[in-house]
């Protein structure tokens, strides 16, 4: 549990105590509710990771420069680093946090997913390394037809 200790720092004690002790999985929706309500990426990132300095240039975001369908914009995340937690944020929807991946011991940082974007905006990845450092990457994605994110 040690590597996940940082999560509890931001979360209120009450939220943390809701989790049964036997639960091995970390549900960030339950442990960091504030991060999922934040409208801007900056606020959401601070709620999940704090405001420590981040290292740029070691995570690669694979996203189209121009997305034709804002309802399903493919986002790929690649890195040679050993990362434990990888979070995806964007500024195209009412709220910023989209998904938080947790990598297991044998995990390889080569991920793909699809997200909604109702307008052109930045996609931000913030990840925590095994070394305890924070890494980030940002890419602007242009959306020609908006998604149905409300």
Query: Which residues in the 88-147 window bind another protein by CB under 8 A?
Result: 90, 93-95, 97-104, 106-108, 110-116, 147
Tokens of 69: 């369908």
Our finding on whether 26 is near another protein (CB under 8 A) is yes
Shortest reach from residue 71's CB to another protein, in Å: 6
Q: How far apart are CA 137 and CA 119, in angstroms?
A: 19
Q: How far apart are CA 109 and CA 59, in angstroms?
A: 9
Shortest reach from residue 105's CB to another protein, in Å: 8
Query: Which residues in the 47-66 window bind another protein by CB under 8 A?
Result: none
| Total residues interacting with another protein, rule: CB under 8 A | 37
Cα 99 from chain centre: 5
Shortest reach from residue 131's CB to another protein, in Å: 20
| Inter-CA distances, 119 with 4, 14, 141, Å | 34, 36, 9
Whether residue 128 contacts residue 83, with contact meaning beta carbons closer than 8 Å, is answered with: yes
Residues that bind another protein (CB under 8 A): 24-30, 36, 71-73, 90, 93-95, 97-104, 106-108, 110-116, 147-150
């Amino acid at each position: 549990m040690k590597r996940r200790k940082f999560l509890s720092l931001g979360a209120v004690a009450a939220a943390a105590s809701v989790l049964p002790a036997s639960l091995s999985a970390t549900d960030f929706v339950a442990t960091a509710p504030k991060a999922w309500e934040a409208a801007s990426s900056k606020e959401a990132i601070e709620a999940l990771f704090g405001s420590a300095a981040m290292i740029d240039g070691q995570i690669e975001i694979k996203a189209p420069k121009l997305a034709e369908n804002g309802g399903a914009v493919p986002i790929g995340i690649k890195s040679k680093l050993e990362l434990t937690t990888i979070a995806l944020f964007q500024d195209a929807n009412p709220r910023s946090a989209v998904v938080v991946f947790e990598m297991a011991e044998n995990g390889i940082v080569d991920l793909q997913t699809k997200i909604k974007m109702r307008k052109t905006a930045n996609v931000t990845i913030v990840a925590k390394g095994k070394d305890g450092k924070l890494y980030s990457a940002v890419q602007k994605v242009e959306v020609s037809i908006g998604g149905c994110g409300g």
